[in-house]
Every structure is written in structure tokens, then in C-alpha cells.
């Protein structure tokens, strides 16, 4: 050995040098990775084990004006799987299917369809306890994550207004959609370490805390909403109607205190939901309001100075020819003053007034009180309707416009118009949110004229033959007007068998607090006049609402309240 090394000293030195060089390279690489350039290993390690998991944000609470919850978020568990792992344990699929409440064959088919992927939802919206029971089975490839699910304590009572969220907790209807960004909040993030199977083995840190959504207080009073919902449902069933709507507004503030529709739906269970039941008819359906707009035509007439409350119009013989059209009254009134025209709901009387003063004053008043105008509420899908636009108004168009045909409005707009009348002619913007401070309104009708018309409408309800007797409330003076409008057929023109029945009014008259509109769509029991079908609903709901809100009675016992029922066919067609 010594001889060999002596004969070839350069070879030994070469091998020794190469070995030392290799050691030096390895040592340098270790120093480079562990000291000088350690970020590389850290990045590579993190890429294989560090994950960022979202922290769901708690959606904001929706309440009524008194703090009663209308929409709350509850924690739920979503169970998901890695199909590429789950496919390796087919013997556990039966246990998994039983735990998540699914058919074993259906689950097996789902897994096989996506077996090459790394993610699939198994079930969403479980309670935390149910989710934990699934995890306790310790089935490879099955995991869980926390989410929130929306729950609606009032159920179908406030469904059309509140709306609902989808399975990902995003607003899809109603106020949930309109205020989605306000309610949604901002999700957080946390850093965790996962093993190669995707299981969390360590919580490292919270990178960003979840920011909960903001609360939203609506203007509605849940007590009044329950009341409106119940009476409207009873009326629809009693009259075998297709649909029904009720809107109640605080005259002074413009806040919408109740908004009910029938048919409705349960937002907590939407499996068998019919799309038609989801429609907020109070804001989406437009219609011709019929005789309920006659008070505004009378308001316009008083505003011109050509008429006074005692002015007399000859409505004989109960019909009038205008061009090739004939306008008729249901009941013949003969000589009628303006109050009498409203009591008898005389189409002839209103037509003669409209033709005398022209369309401009009537059009202007209807526009100012919000009929056919944007409400500014910003409700998803809300329709504006509209007032007719004619290059040149013909006499039949002027006449029909004055008694409620040719224009299209929503129930909210009609209730708002009566709120303006009850507020001394001041138009206060509507609100679906609870207001801490009332908004300033715009005076659009002379206060004296508004008060005069309001007392005319009181006569419609309280005096015999006025057509509004069924809306009377013991202890309170009520001002209101019924209306009945033929529906437009699908082929054009008006049907002779399908009607909408209305009643709109304000109470109490001496110090108006509430304005309300009731609409019954296609009553099918033989009675379809607003005074017979819609007025009773108005009377029941308004009576309870005034008492619930502690509104003082304005009809003293010394002045007995007339409680006689109106006979079918009495009063005007409205």
C-alpha cells in the first residue's frame, strides 16, 4: 500500500482533493440553505404544508323598528371531501351516506363521477353537532368547514320585504339583496399547517379577523305586520281571490310600517317554492287604481279656484256620451256637490269636472303626490308605473284619467298619495328603514284644500250611502275611498269578469297618523266592489293598528259612531 502511494502520489492527492472539494461544496450548500438563503427552503416547505383558510363573517342582523329579529345568522357546518382519497375506502361509503342523510347509491355515483378531483361538497348547512358526528367517523378524505346560515324568525309574515340569502349567504331577494354589502361584512383569514392528507395539524395565526356585517333596522313594526298578514290571508280565502296586498305608512314620517302580500312563502324552507309567491306585489305589480284617485281629481278642481266644496254638478241621467264612448255611474245621483260625487263615486261627475278644468291640474296633482313616480326606496325589482303621455289629450282620455284609468301605479305609491293627503298636503319621502329623525317634506297641496278633501272622504266612510261604511272604526274618524277596476285581458281591452277591489284611507281624521291601502285581486265570490271586499280588511287592520300604537281616539262618545253595514250595491261603484 505504501509502495502504491509512493509510486502514484498525484493520484492519491487528486482523490483526496476531490473528496475535500465535495465536502466543501456540501458544506457551502448547507450554509447557503440554512443561513444565507434560508427563504428558499421556507417557501418550499410552506408550499407543501401552510394553508390560508377563510374565516366566515357574521352577516348583520335585520330587525323591525322595535328591535325584533327578522333575519339572523346561525353557525353551520359544511362537510366536504377529497374524492381522490375517499375513493380508496369504498367500504366506508355506506356509513358516510347514513351520517349525512343521503342514499348510499346516489353518494357512490357522485364520488365516482368526480374521483379524479380533490374537492366535492357532501352536505351543507348541518348543525355543528351533526357535523361533528360525521367527523367522528374518521373516514379518510372527509373534512368540514364552518359557515353561517340565515334564519328568518318571522317566516312567511315578512318574507316579501326581508327577502333571503342563497346557500353562500349572499342576498338574493328583498332587503337582503338591496343591502347585501351593508349586511355581508368582510371575511377574515387564518394560517394553518396541514398534512399531506389535507388535515389541519396546527393553527399558526390569525392573519385578519373577520369583520361582521352591520345591523339593519327596518321601518316595519312586526306587530302590525303580523296583523296585516293574518287579515289579508283571511280576506283572500274568504273572497276566493287570486292575490291580495296591504301597505301601511306613517303619515308624518313616511316610514312603511307594514307591507303584506298574499300568496306568500316561507324563506326558511324553499324546496317547493313557486316563483309567483316570491313577488312583492306591493312594489312590483302595477295596476289602474280606479276610483281611489278621484279625491285627487277633486283636489285639482279645488286648486283651480273654479270649484268649491258646495259646487254642484248635474250627473243626471247617470251616464254621459263623450265621443263614441259612454261613461256610466253605478248609482244615479242627480245634482251632487263635490262631497256627493265622492260618496256616490260618480264617474259622470268627475268626468264633467275634468273636462271643465282640463287635464293639466289633475296630472300635476297626481304627479306631485307620487303616483307613477319613483319612490326612491331602491327595492330590487320595484316598478315605477307611469302617468299617460299623449301628444294631444282627447276628451275620453281626460275623463277616464280623472277616475283612475289609463295610469299605472303600485300599492306603495297609492298609499303614499293618501299619506300626502293626510299630512296636510306635505310629501314626505318614503322609507323602508327606521328613521331616527323625520325627513323634511315638500308642500305639494294647499293645506286647507288637503284638509277639505280629507273631510269629504270622512263623509264617504261615515255618512249613509257613502260606500265606505265597512271601514268604520268605533272611536275614530276615518277618511277613505273605495275603488273597483276592471283588469286588462291578455288579448287587449278590459275583461268583464275579473276585477281588482281597493280601499285607501287615512285615520284618525282630526290628527292623521296612518295611511293604508288594501287591494284584493280577482275576488270570486260574486262581490267585487272595493267597499264590500277591501273596506272590511281596512277597518279591521286600522282599528287594531291605532290601538297598538296608542293613538288617541278622536270620535268622542257624545258623537255616536254609525256602525250600520252597507248594503250590497249601495253607494258608488268604487
Asked if residue 264 has a cis previous peptide bond (ω within 30° of 0), the answer is no
First to last CA, the chain: 127
400 is an active site residue: no
Q: Got the DSSP string for 27-89?
A: HHHHHIIIIISHHHHHHHHHHHHEEEEEEPPPPPPEE-TTS-EEEEEEEEEEEEE-HHHHTT-
Q: What does the H/E/C string look like for 468-519?
A: CHHHCECCECCEEEEEEEEEECCCCCEEEEEEEEEEEEEECCCCCCEEEEEE
What gap in Å lies between CA 526 and CA 567, rounded to an integer? 14
Count, residues in the chain: 574
**Residue 335 CB neighbour total at 10 angstroms:** 11
User: Residues 175, 432: contact at Cβ < 8 Å?
Assistant: yes
Q: For the chain, how big is the Rg over CA atoms in Å?
A: 36
User: Residues 65, 248: contact at Cβ < 8 Å?
Assistant: no
Residues 6 or more apart in contact with residue 44 via CB below 8 angstroms = none
Which residue in the list 49, 73, 84, 291 is annotated as catalytic?
291
Facing residues of 259 across strands?
247
Measured between alpha carbons, how far is residue 67 from residues 177, 218, 223, 471, 544 in Å? 20, 9, 12, 31, 21
Torsion angle, CA of 541/547/549/555, rounded to 10 degrees? 100
Measured between alpha carbons, how far is residue 106 from residues 93, 98, 139, 336 in Å? 11, 12, 18, 75
What gap in Å lies between CA 96 and CA 134, rounded to an integer? 7
**Three-state secondary structure call for residue 362:** helix
- By annotation, the residues acting in catalysis are 291
Amino acid at each position: 500500500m505504501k509502495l502504491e502511494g509512493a509510486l502514484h502520489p498525484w493520484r492519491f492527492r487528486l482523490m483526496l482533493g476531490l473528496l475535500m472539494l465535495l465536502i466543501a461544496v456540501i458544506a457551502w450548500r448547507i450554509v447557503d440553505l440554512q443561513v444565507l438563503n434560508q427563504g428558499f427552503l421556507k417557501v418550499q416547505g410552506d408550499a407543501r404544508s401552510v394553508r390560508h383558510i377563510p374565516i366566515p363573517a357574521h352577516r348583520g342582523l335585520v330587525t323591525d323598528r322595535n328591535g325584533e329579529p327578522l333575519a339572523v345568522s346561525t353557525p353551520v357546518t359544511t362537510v366536504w371531501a377529497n374524492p381522490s382519497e375517499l375513493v380508496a375506502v369504498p367500504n366506508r361509503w355506506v356509513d358516510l351516506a347514513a351520517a349525512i342523510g343521503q342514499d348510499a347509491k346516489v353518494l357512490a355515483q357522485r364520488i365516482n363521477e368526480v374521483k379524479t378531483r380533490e374537492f366535492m361538497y357532501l352536505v351543507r348547512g348541518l348543525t355543528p353537532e351533526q357535523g361533528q358526528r360525521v367527523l367522528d367517523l374518521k373516514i379518510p378524505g372527509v373534512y368540514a368547514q364552518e359557515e353561517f346560515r340565515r334564519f328568518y324568525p318571522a317566516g312567511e309574515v315578512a318574507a316579501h320585504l326581508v327577502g333571503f340569502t342563497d346557500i353562500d349567504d349572499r342576498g338574493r331577494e328583498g332587503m337582503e339583496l338591496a343591502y347585501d354589502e351593508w349586511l355581508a361584512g368582510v371575511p377574515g383569514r387564518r394560517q394553518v399547517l396541514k398534512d399531506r392528507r389535507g388535515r389541519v395539524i396546527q393553527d399558526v395565526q390569525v392573519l385578519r379577523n373577520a369583520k361582521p356585517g352591520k345591523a339593519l333596522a327596518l321601518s316595519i313594526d312586526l306587530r302590525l305586520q303580523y296583523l296585516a298578514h293574518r287579515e289579508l290571508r283571511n280576506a283572500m280565502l274568504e273572497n276566493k281571490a287570486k292575490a291580495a296586498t296591504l301597505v301601511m305608512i306613517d303619515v308624518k314620517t313616511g316610514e312603511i310600517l307594514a307591507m303584506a302580500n298574499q300568496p306568500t312563502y316561507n324563506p326558511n324552507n324553499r324546496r317547493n317554492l313557486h316563483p309567483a309567491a316570491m313577488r312583492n306585489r306591493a312594489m312590483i305589480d302595477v295596476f289602474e287604481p280606479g276610483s281611489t284617485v278621484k279625491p285627487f281629481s277633486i283636489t285639482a278642481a279645488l286648486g283651480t279656484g273654479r270649484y268649491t266644496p258646495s259646487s254642484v254638478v248635474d250627473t243626471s241621467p247617470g251616464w254621459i256620451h263623450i265621443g263614441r264612448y259612454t261613461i256610466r255611474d253605478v248609482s244615479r245621483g242627480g245634482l251632487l256637490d263635490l262631497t256627493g260625487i265622492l260618496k256616490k263615486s260618480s264617474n259622470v261627475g268627475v268626468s264633467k269636472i275634468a273636462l271643465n278644468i282640463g287635464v293639466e291640474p289633475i296630472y300635476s296633482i297626481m304627479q306631485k303626490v307620487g303616483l307613477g313616480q319613483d319612490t326612491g326606496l331602491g327595492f330590487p325589482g320595484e316598478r315605477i308605473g307611469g302617468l299617460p303621455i299623449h301628444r294631444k289629450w282627447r276628451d275620453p282620455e281626460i275623463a277616464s284619467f280623472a277616475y283612475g284609468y289609463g295610469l299605472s301605479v303600485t300599492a306603495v305609491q297609492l298609499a303614499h298619495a293618501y299619506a300626502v293627503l293626510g299630512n296636510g298636503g306635505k310629501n314626505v319621502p318614503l322609507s323602508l328603514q327606521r328613521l331616527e329623525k323625520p325627513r323634511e317634506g315638500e308642500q305639494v297641496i294647499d293645506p286647507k284644500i288637503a284638509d277639505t278633501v280629507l273631510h269629504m272622504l270622512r263623509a264617504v266612510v261615515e255618512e249613509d250611502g257613502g260606500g265606505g261604511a265597512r271601514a268604520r272604526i268605533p272611536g275614530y274618524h276615518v277618511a277613505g275611498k273605495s275603488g273597483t277596476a276592471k283588469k286588462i285581458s291578455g288579448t287587449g281591452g278590459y275583461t268583464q269578469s275579473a276585477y281588482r277591489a281597493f280601499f285607501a284611507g287615512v285615520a284618525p281624521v282630526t290628527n292623521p297618523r296612518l295611511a293604508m291601502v288594501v287591494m284584493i285581486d280577482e275576488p270570486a265570490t260574486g262581490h267585487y266592489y272595493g267597499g264590500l271586499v277591501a273596506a272590511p280588511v281596512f277597518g279591521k287592520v286600522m282599528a287594531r293598528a291605532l290601538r297598538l300604537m296608542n293613538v288617541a281616539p278622536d270620535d268622542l262618545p257624545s258623537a255616536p259612531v254609525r256602525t250600520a253595514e252597507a248594503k250590497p250595491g249601495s253607494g258608488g261603484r268604487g
